[in-house]
Amino acid sequence: MIGARWADMLDEVERQRGEVRRVADAVAGLTATATSPDRAVSVTVDARGVLVGLDITASAMRRYRGEQLAQLIVGLVADADGMLRTQRAQLLTAASTVTPALTDIEPSAR
């Protein structure tokens, strides 16, 4: 009986390790894109919040002065980074159920 319980718990630990690897890979692969309301500028950031893509239309170059365009880009990067934080939190929340509990291992802990 105790041996079977330990075997089940070890299986669960292996399952959790696989889940942790899956979540870590998913978090590492996250990207987010934010686009200006006029759709003239869009930015993409990677899982670390680093700008990895920038698209500026010709109309944006005509419409915005340099400082306005710079502020817009900085704001869009911040927006995209906020989206990443939300995505990361959702992934981590979904994976945060930890089992087995101490009471599963040691019944006297109840």
Separation of alpha carbons 99 and 31, rounded Å: 30
In the prediction, which pLDDT does 106 show? 63
Residue with tokens 């995505």: 87
Helices (DSSP H) in the chain: which residue ranges? 2-28, 58-63, 66-94, 102-105
pLDDT in tens, 39-59: 999 999 999 999 999 999 999
Per-residue model confidence (pLDDT) at position 92 = 84
What percent of the chain is predicted at pLDDT more than 70? 86
* Residue-range domains of the chain with CATH: 30-96 (3.30.1310)
Cis status of the peptide bond prior to 100, with omega within 30 of 0: yes
Alpha-carbon span 58 to 101, nearest angstrom: 58
Beta bridge partners, 41, equal: 56
For residues 27 and 87, give the distance between their C-alpha atoms in angstroms, rounded to a whole number. Answer: 8
Least confident of 9-23, 31-45, 72-86: 9-23
Query: For residue range 69-91, what is the model confidence (pLDDT) as tens digits?
Result: 999 999 999 999 999 999 999 88
